[in-house]
Amino acid sequence: MEIKALIHCADFSAKKHKDQRRRDPEKTPYINHPIGVAHILTEEAGITDINVIQAALLHDTVEDTNTTIEEIKEEFGEEIAGIVDELSDDKNLPKAERKRLQIVHAPSASPKAKLVKLADKLYNLRDLQRTKPEGWTSERVEEYFIWAAKVIDGLRGTNKQMEASLDELFKARNISI
Ligand SMILES: Nc1nc2c(ncn2[C@@H]2O[C@H](COP(=O)(O)OP(=O)(O)O)[C@@H](OP(=O)(O)OP(=O)(O)O)[C@H]2O)c(=O)[nH]1
């Protein structure tokens, strides 16, 4: 049953992220982010593929908590684990290398991973428009936008609605796309 599967993911992700907060001045609970990414997919992007929505709810558990891909596989199966794996940066690499690899790997990501990535970037860029994370300078915000535009270049042709929303954000900041 689809509702059961979705709530399973939301519950798993909420437990894994329970001690994490976003970096905004309000210290929003981290779980707002994966739920918001899933919401962009269902509400704005018209996505009904449950595996994509489940992967969105889980997309930061491996990268940012003690969760392993094996655990995701056991709980949610191969396909969702595969998507989450594609969405997980290797935190053992230096940050500049992780950022570079996101640009390099974007074009060859699977269509499902591309959908979650577009929604993830859209959520984070909107968050950055709304408020600066603690300690971020305007230059760092600008650099994030420029880097995100490069990642998104490799994700194009995946979803008209999200790409149009992202293009609006870039246009508003005079970032050439
Ligand atoms: N805009 C915004 N971002 C926040 C906030 N709190 C946490 N983040 C996270 O910060 C990351 C972006 O910061 P960076 O400086 O580029 O990356 P890093 O610290 O994680 O290495 C994003 O995660 P990421 O998984 O690295 O995403 P991405 O870099 O792949 O887009 C984003 O989800 C917040 O309040 N606002």
> Residue 9 pLDDT more than 90?
yes
Question: Looking at the domain 1-172, which fold is it?
Answer: Hypothetical protein af1432 (1.10.3210)
Per-residue b or e along 96-126, where b marks 16 or more CB atoms closer than 10 Å to that residue's CB:
eeebeebbeebeebeebbbbbbbbbbbbbbe
Q: Please give the pLDDT value at position 148.
A: 98
Residues annotated as catalytic are 63-64
Task: Return the pLDDT at 143.
Answer: 97
* Contact 22 CB / ligand 1 (< 6 Å): yes
Q: What is the ipTM of this complex?
A: 0.93
Instruction: Tell me the two tokens of residue 60.
Output: 């930061």
Q: What confidence tens digit (pLDDT) does each residue in 98-109 have?
A: 999 999 999 999
If you take atom 10 of ligand 1, which residue's CA is the nearest one? 23
Helix 69-76 and helix 50-58, axial crossing angle in degrees, nearest 10: 140
Measured in Å, residue 72 CA sits from the centre of ligand 1 at 22
- Distance, in Å, from the CA atom of 2 to the CA atom of 64, rounded to the nearest integer, reads 26
Considering the chain, what is the average pLDDT of its residues?
97
Nearest to 161 by CA among 122, 105, 106: 122
